[in-house]
Amino acid sequence: MQSLADLVKCRRLVVKVGSALLVERGEPREYWLSMLAQDLWALRQEGPEIVVVSSGAIALGAAKLGLPDGGRRNLADAQAAAAVGQIELARLWSGALAEFDMTAAQMLVTLEDLEDRRRYLNASATLARLIEAGAIPVVNENDSVATEEIRFGDNDRLAARVAQAAGADAVLLLSDVDGLYDRDPREQDAELVERVDGITPEVLAMASGASSSGLGSGGMRSKLHAAQIAERAGITLAIINGTQESPIANAVAADLGTVFLPQRADGARKAWLGGRIAPKGTVRVDKGCAEALKGGASLLAAGVVGVSGAFQRGDLVSVIALSGEKLAQGLAEYGADEVQAIAGKRADEQAERLGYAPRSAVIHRDHMVLL
């Protein structure tokens, strides 16, 4: 997929819908949802299989329970609102898709479901079977049990991770603006960026982290983080304005939105590693080690200059340069205390510190992905 017109060429597409589009003043926008369902039906007639990632449970539940601040005053309110709102959200999607003879399948996931490899593969298998059976999976974070420490926090990144698990070609994020602007879109001279060929620090600087609606937890910054996950996995991501009726059809007809092109196509396991978003710690490396990593080397203890976190062997850790640049992430071969003990040491010095023969690397290149 190189442009919005190529949506119909996708084999499998993930469509993400935010709270502000689905809920207005505590009430569902049922007519708008019906028009979106018609868009999804029309896409299916062209060929793409569809997976939906939908927010809205907390906003719907908060309105029913009369909770302040849209149910986001504290974690307990959010969990209670989600428990009530998820029933209504499932009803809305089931009814809207049924209008066009499509079957909705509710699927609730937590961050750990997609961070743990075995659970990730289980989720992937469930998505595949639902699609094979002709259903449209409607995925949401299980906010009634998620905690602040182990949750996605926004459905933009969830959509990118679901796209990986579903083997999708593209992700379509419906937003309240036309796409990424080179500055705050409220500024008079702001210009829409139609195509992004790789997310750079300059692109990240264009984004605002605020959610303009006050209902959701995302913003343009979370959408760019989702695009980073997608681009490493060979998945195209696009942002369009979802506020109008028939949003997908209108955006495609006008070719109006921002398309983020994939930068590489990591294998399934490396893509999963690169998409994980909850590292347990950090390893800081010197300049020589940073250059070696970029050349495809494993991370050796001799290049380590600092360790933080309480990770164990097999946990995900981030690798950062002296400048603070995030270089890579991967699965540690040692716990944090052991890495601290051998940091900066040559192989012949490590055994004395460890009390056993050292492993070949702190993070082996086969279990590491560059960011």
Strand pairing class (23-24; 27-28):
antiparallel
246 is in an annotated binding site: no
346 is in an annotated binding site: no
Give 48-113 as a DSSP string: -EEEEEE--HHHHHHHHHT-GGGGTSSHHHHHHHHHHHHHHHHHHHHHHHHTTT-EEEEEEE-HHH
Check: CB of residue 196 under 8 Å from CB of residue 206: no
d(CA 168, CA 236): 9
288 is in an annotated binding site: no
169 is in an annotated binding site: no
217 is in an annotated binding site: yes
Residue 302 phi, psi dihedral angles, 5° rounding: -60, -25
Question: Nearest Cα to 319, choosing from 337, 298, 349?
Answer: 298
1 is in an annotated binding site: no
220 is in an annotated binding site: yes
143 is in an annotated binding site: yes
345 is in an annotated binding site: no
Give 208-252 as a DSSP string: ----TTSSSS--HHHHHHHHHHHHHBT-EEEEEE-SSSSHHHHHH
176 is in an annotated binding site: yes
287 is in an annotated binding site: no
Check: CB of residue 265 under 8 Å from CB of residue 222: no
Q: What is the separation, in whole angstroms, between the first and last Cα of the chain? A: 22
Sequence ranges of the binding site for substrate:
55, 143, 155
Sequence ranges of the binding site for ATP:
16, 175-176, 217-223
Sequence ranges of the binding site:
16, 55, 143, 155, 175-176, 217-223
